[in-house]
């Protein structure tokens, strides 16, 4: 199955949090990463800018198993959920999974707000222009600035 996940961090060493999260979520599955983008926070809580990227993963794992991997990665990076849309060491969301939809509150796929957010659609389009159109990018809101590949960032 082909799946896409979004990663973000705006607390501490953002690059290290993203690297660790990618490694945990990918496991031994093949993957590709978008570039990292610096983005403005969403939700009105005063906080630092995020670094975001999207991962394309080819896996036999179910979307539920991917959610478990995402939550394990967040926990291992000491993610706290004190404030909705507040600062995070690591945030990982399952955006889309080939042939799968769910409206379960624990795992809603496709992600319900993904197409509204430039920090998701810009890096997603980089990996999957056949799924995310230029129109989708233009419709999404939020400032995004391309930084570099994750391996080159400190």
Token code pair at residue 20 = 């660790």
Pairwise CA distance, residues 118 & 47, whole Å: 18
Choosing from 35, 77, 79, 117, which is the catalytic residue?
A: 79
Verify whether residue 93 is a known catalytic residue: yes
Q: What are phi and psi of 66, to 5 degrees?
A: -65, -40
Choosing from 35, 69, 77, 88, which is the catalytic residue?
A: 88
Pairwise CA distance, residues 100 & 16, whole Å: 31
Choosing from 35, 77, 91, 117, which is the catalytic residue?
A: 91
Give the DSSP letter string of 39-98.
Answer: E--SSS---PPEEEEEEEEE-SS-HHHHHHHHHHHHHHTT---SSTT---S-EEEEEEET
Choosing from 14, 77, 93, 125, which is the catalytic residue?
A: 93
Q: Which residues are catalytic?
A: 79, 88, 91, 93
């Amino acid at each position: 199955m082909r799946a896409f996940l979004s990663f973000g961090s705006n607390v501490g060493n953002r690059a290290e949090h993203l690297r660790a999260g990618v490694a945990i979520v990918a496991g031994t599955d093949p993957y590709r990463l978008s570039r990292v983008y610096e983005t403005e926070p969403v939700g009105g809580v005063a906080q630092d800018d995020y670094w975001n990227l999207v991962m394309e993963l080819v896996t036999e794992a179910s979307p539920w198993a991917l959610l478990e991997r995402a939550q394990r990665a967040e926990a291992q990076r000491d993610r706290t959920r004190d404030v909705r849309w507040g600062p995070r060491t690591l945030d990982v969301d399952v955006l889309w999974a080939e042939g799968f939809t769910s409206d379960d509150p624990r795992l809603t796929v496709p992600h319900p707000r993904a197409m509204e957010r430039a920090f998701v659609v810009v890096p997603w389009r980089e990996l999957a222009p056949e799924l995310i159109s230029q129109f989708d990018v233009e419709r999404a809101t939020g400032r995004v600035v391309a930084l570099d590949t994750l391996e080159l960032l400190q």
